[in-house]
């Protein structure tokens, strides 16, 4: 397996740091690895494997002509907010056959950010079901691919059957500011729903 740490310099953790685990979820090829890679301040751990004939008929490459690898384990990265709040980002594979890995990866998480692609919205339901099964609070971030259709927020909420208080944001997983904004919306939701104790931000 191609699991490797690349060579970006790592920052140390403050001993006062509050560690918060967040899962980056979503269907095959929706941009999970890209998202973690964009935001991680350390070299992300990646478990990418080349796609072979074995995934034909399982992984749908429509609209992703440049995609040659898929995540077979997990993505892992780290993002520090003001030294005292440290997010550990776990990208979990979206395919049904990795369901067990998904459950293991999501265990102990405070919440999940579910990435969605408007070309294949129905494929988001597997991830929505998984997070709901685990009782994880979540936000949905539509990863904007250039060829993807754009719909009004109300239509997207209806199509994904989102509760009124579930945040729905738009992002470009390749862009740091945009990805950070999506994550911030999730954090705000975790605070609003008491999934995160606001005191952990007192020192941040």
Ligand X SMILES: Nc1nc2c(ncn2[C@@H]2O[C@H](COP(=O)(O)OP(=O)(O)OP(=O)(O)O)[C@@H](O)[C@H]2O)c(=O)[nH]1
Q: Which range in 39-47, 156-164, 166-174, 181-189 contacts ligand X by CB under 6 A?
A: 166-174
Residue 45 is given by DSSP the state B
Nearest distance, CB of residue 9 and Mg ion, angstroms: 24
Distance, CA of 166 to CA of 137 (rounded, Å): 8
Sheet containing 69-71, strands listed edge to edge, beginning at the edge strand earlier in sequence:
2-4, 46-50, 69-71
Q: Pick from 174, 181, 191, 201: which binds ligand X (CB under 6 A)?
A: 174
* Residue 47's binding partner out of ligand X, Mg ion, none, with CB under 5 to 8 Å set by partner kind: none
For strand 85-91 and strand 18-26, is the pairing parallel, antiparallel, or unpaired? parallel
Nearest distance, CB of residue 80 and ligand X, angstroms: 22
Nearest distance, CB of residue 17 and ligand X, angstroms: 27
Distance, CA of 33 to CA of 200 (rounded, Å): 27
183 closest CA partner among 76, 81, 45, 73: 81
Distance, CA of 76 to CA of 182 (rounded, Å): 17
Distance, CA of 145 to CA of 152 (rounded, Å): 16
Per CB under 6 A, 70 contacts ligand X? yes
Q: Which is nearer to ligand X, 98 or 110 (CB)?
A: 98
User: Using CB under 6 A, which residues numbered 25 to 44 contact ligand X?
Assistant: 26, 28-34
Q: Pick from 18, 64, 99, 119: which binds ligand X (CB under 6 A)?
A: 64
The residues that touch ligand X, with contacts defined as CB under 6 A, are 26, 28-34, 64, 66-67, 70-71, 93-94, 143-146, 172-174
């Amino acid at each position: 397996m191609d699991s490797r740490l690349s060579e970006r310099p790592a920052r140390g953790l403050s001993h006062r740091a509050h560690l918060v685990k967040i899962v980056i979820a979503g269907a095959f090829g929706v941009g999970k690895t890209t998202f973690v890679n964009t935001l991680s301040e350390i070299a992300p751990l990646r478990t990418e494997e080349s796609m072979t004939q074995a995934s034909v008929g399982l992984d749908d490459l429509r609209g992703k002509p440049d995609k040659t690898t898929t995540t077979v384990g997990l993505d892992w990265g780290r993002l520090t907010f003001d030294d005292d709040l440290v997010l550990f980002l776990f990208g979990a594979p979206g395919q049904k056959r990795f369901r067990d890995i998904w459950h293991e990866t999501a265990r102990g998480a405070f919440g999940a950010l579910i990435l969605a692609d408007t070309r294949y919205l129905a494929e988001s339901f597997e991830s929505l079901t998984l997070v709901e099964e685990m009782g994880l609070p979540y936000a949905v971030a539509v990863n904007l691919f250039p060829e993807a259709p754009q719909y009004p927020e109300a239509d997207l909420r209806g199509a994904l059957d989102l509760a009124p208080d579930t945040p729905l944001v738009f992002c470009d997983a390749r862009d740091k500011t945009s990805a950070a904004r999506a994550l911030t919306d999730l954090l705000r939701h975790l605070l609003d729903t008491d999934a995160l104790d606001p005191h952990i931000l007192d020192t941040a």
